[in-house]
């Protein structure tokens, strides 16, 4: 099975303001949890962009759905890449790009927040309403926090689906 670990390998783009390390990746010490799940939250930080039968997070039915990624310590980051699930999620031959769209498993409305040590702070550049893109690559002014959360308020069948979450920082 082909494993894709970052968008950077396909587009040549890397964060410019800070070191490029995917701090959300489980192998870098992060963990994931969810408000509910029928597929493990840990699947969203396993480094695989191809969901096939098990490499994705899926919540139980009900809005909102929340996916939280804990870095285990404070991290400074300025880029979050969200890989939503494609309509044909069994097709492992196509790497999603900025033009990839979907209608079934893509989170339509969601916010991304980071924990600043005292409260959740919204990252406006990561807020979407009416989204239909499989890949969302969001850059913003660097922030420091120990975890992020993705709150999905509208999605297909009122379930959250996420193939991969990357948080680029140090």
Give the domains, in start order, of the chain with CATH numbers: 17-169 (2.60.120.260)
- What pLDDT sits at residue 19? 54
Per-position pLDDT tens, the chain of length 170: 334 444 444 443 444 444 589 999 988 888 898 888 888 899 899 888 876 667 788 888 877 889 999 999 999 999 999 998 777 766 666 677 778 888 778 888 999 999 999 999 999 999 999 999 889 999 999 999 999 999 999 887 777 888 899 999 98
What is the model's pLDDT at position 117?
Answer: 96
Question: What's the pLDDT at 93?
Answer: 62
Strands (E), the chain: 21-22, 31-34, 57-58, 65-83, 109-115, 120-122, 135-154, 161-162, 164-169
Contact 134, 155 (CB under 8 A): no
* pLDDT for the residue 10: 42
35 and 64 Cβ atoms separated by less than 8 Å: yes
Whether this prediction's pTM lies above 0.85 is answered by no
Residue 91's pLDDT is: 66
Q: How many CB atoms lie within 10 A of CB 3?
A: 10
- Minimal CA–CA distance to 86: which of 43, 48, 132, 150? 132
Q: Which H/E stretch holds residue 8?
A: helix 8-11
């Amino acid at each position: 099975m082909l494993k894709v670990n970052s968008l950077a390998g396909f587009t040549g783009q890397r964060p410019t303001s800070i070191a490029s390390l995917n701090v959300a990746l489980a192998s870098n010490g992060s963990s994931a949890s969810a408000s509910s799940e029928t597929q493990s939250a840990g699947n969203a930080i396993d480094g695989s962009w191809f969901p096939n039968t098990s490499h994705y997070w899926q919540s139980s039915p009900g809005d909102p759905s929340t996916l939280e990624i804990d870095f285990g310590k404070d991290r400074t980051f300025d880029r979050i890449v969200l890989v939503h699930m494609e309509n044909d999620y069994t097709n492992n031959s196509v790497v999603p790009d900025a033009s990839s769209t979907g209608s079934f498993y893509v989170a339509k409305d969601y916010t991304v927040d980071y924990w600043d040590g005292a409260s959740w702070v919204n990252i406006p550049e990561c807020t979407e309403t009416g989204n239909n893109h499989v890949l969302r690559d969001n850059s913003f002014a660097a922030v420091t926090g120990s975890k992020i959360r993705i709150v999905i308020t509208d999605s297909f069948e009122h379930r959250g689906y996420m193939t991969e979450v990357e948080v680029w920082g140090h």
